A and B are shown apart, each in its own frame.
Chain A
Amino acid sequence: MCTGRIDLAFILRAFSNGADGVFIGGCWPGECHYITEGNYLALSGMHLCRKLLELVGVNPERLRLDWISASEGNRFAEVLNDFSKKLKELGPLGKGEGVSEKGLKSKLEAVTKLIPYIKLVERERMRVPVKSEGEYNKFFTSDEFDRLFKELIVEKLEISQIMNLLREKPRSTGEISEILGISPSEISRYVNDSARQGLVRFDERQNLIAAAM
């Protein structure tokens, strides 16, 4: 098993379970023990996951990836001690960010549901052609990536989060806006789109929106 085997879902599950941080240790680029260089997949996964964490209100520094070879015991200890120190500074998950436990969990669940879609998007639009750490870091900090992320993932995620809330019970636009921190006008836009696709319906009488059965 390779670091590239690490699924976004594994990381999110750990945060959902209340982990204060997740650390991924991989083989150095160019020192793949297979021939597949899956550590680059781990690297892009890490960048993408950090962005997703940021989106749901988790400090992205709670996820860290470092290259440590099997013979670098000292480096492993240094990196982990440093990461523990960082996590102590950040405080417990959620509290450090000032986000409610319930809100966080629901948001993480929404992201988890979206993983199959994110995997497709990642493959179609976010693969870096050149296997070099520099190129990867450049791409994932570029405006281009920000734009793609916003266009392809953020909107989907917000819709997914709204749908999650509506599946619990019918809610008003204001209520949704308050829970998710998305502006009422954005919510109206998403809801109208979804209504056209037959995913939600309006309860005109109570002025509530409900998930279509």
Chain B
Amino acid sequence: MVNLTINDTPVSVPAGTTIIAAAQAIGINIPSLCYLKDLNEISACRVCSVEVEGEAKLVPSCSNVVREGMKIHTNSPRARQARKINVELILSQHDCRCAICSRSGNCKLQKISNDLGIKGTLYADMQPKAPIITDWTTTFPLFRNPRKCLKCMRCVQVCEKVQSLGVWDVSGTGSRTTIDVSHNRVIKQADCVLCGQCITHCPVEALRERDDTDGVFAALAAKQKVTVIQVAPAVRTALGATLQTGETPVSPETIVAALKQIGFDYVFDTSFAADLTIMEESTELLQRLNAGELQEFPMFTSCCPAWVRFMKSQYPQYVKYLSSSKSPQQMFGAVTKTWFAQSIGVNPADIYSVSVMPCLAKKAECALPTMARNGVADVDASITTREIIRMIRSENILPQDLTAVPFDSPLGTATGAGVIFGATGGVMEAALRSAYYFVTGQAPKDELFQAVRGEKAWKEATYSLGQATVRCAVVSGLANARKLMEALIAKEVQYDFVEVMSCPGGCVGGGGQPISLQDEELATKRSETLYALDKKDALRNSYDNPVIQELYGQFLEKPGSEAAEHLLHTDHEGWSMPLAVKLQKKK
């Protein structure tokens, strides 16, 4: 242990602790902007600089570790002045029109500036010149604004270290240094998988999703349109904070009430489609397993479109091992515009189908040419959790004033298996529950498969399903996925079934989720909500879902049937994606 004093308070911390972390341990919060524990400790913003007795210069507290006998002052006149001036310098390059910024109230720069009481500045405005901005495409689901960027490098780090993609990099040198797509590519040429982790780690609004709410409001206003909205499981775990109900999650039924109030005709649950995905995916797994197709390489889940984009751009030769099942969003869209449209007697073209997702990749997915029939997209708009929050707020809806309403019938009926889709391991567990039933004819015991739960980056479990043994692995975060792929290719590991979710912790930690001003990683906490919902659900296995049974009975015959194949499966080769730079060079 190392002993030191911070603001005259003695503290003892393990060797190797950074000054900022040591201060935190005794409740002294050193303001910072670029610092992200373990991920970005590069002292770029210099806001966290503190006075260390005996040192000539101020010392950044995020990138330096404590030493025995150190005497640190976080609020000395010199530290205070340096902090304020450095924030003012950052502000001089920042578009400070907070009133038209979606991060207002949830912006680290705004908060620190307000906290420091900065009321004006002597510095000239130095925002980047206009043409550099207009070059950014407006049609890509991810949008970058260099006039907001602090050059904190968090996006570079998270994309490189957590997702192993390196889409972002420092661009140029000198005073015009900025962040841009690496290797001088433009974003549409890049192997960006649209996980959105750069957005949720951006301290300001330099990165955000493309806002698609205007189209949704237009559809709500159009008389002839029947509006259908599906809500992904992870969304219900994350609304509380931003809807000002504190950290308590808003119940799914309250969300339904809010969406009804906005004016959606039908409010459904994506968990229904997750149940449907399970029926198809576990059937496919058993088929492939029995056909001996998984000897060399496992079957991978395909419900995460960012993971599909990753596979296509990084490991194109292994795309065939992805399950052909569509993601729940797209299964939902397909059923909505066929079976459901028929059942309510509406022309599919008159249905406007919206999904609320914790995700940006879903925006790209629903626009794929393979996700439409007769020129009509199965899902017309996919909006993020953040966008739906903005819609609810713009309608002046206060959750506490609402009376809970259940999801609409029929596509609002889901089981606990569909709900846990939003957490890492959830798809695997849900699939195993059904596969177990398909093979043994018996319902699995409760929590039989819980070894695949939890925040561990790479989980393994082996289960017997009748005669067959299924070796499973679950990873979240694409750097972990890459490690797993490399291990599989090197034949260091062997599995039959692998679940991959691109965002650490799964969809609950998705790139479309509300952003923590305190830089908390909330995936684990949010996934507890999903498992609690699963636990109290009367139906916990997808095959028990009565609407699913009805759907197969009336329309699709059985899982894996030709009709199901046509409606619920897709060809991942039916569209193209820019390859990783490494692979492009090979070509």
B is a partner of A: no
Measured CB to CB, the residues of A under 8 A from B are: none
Measured CB to CB, the residues of B under 8 A from A are: none
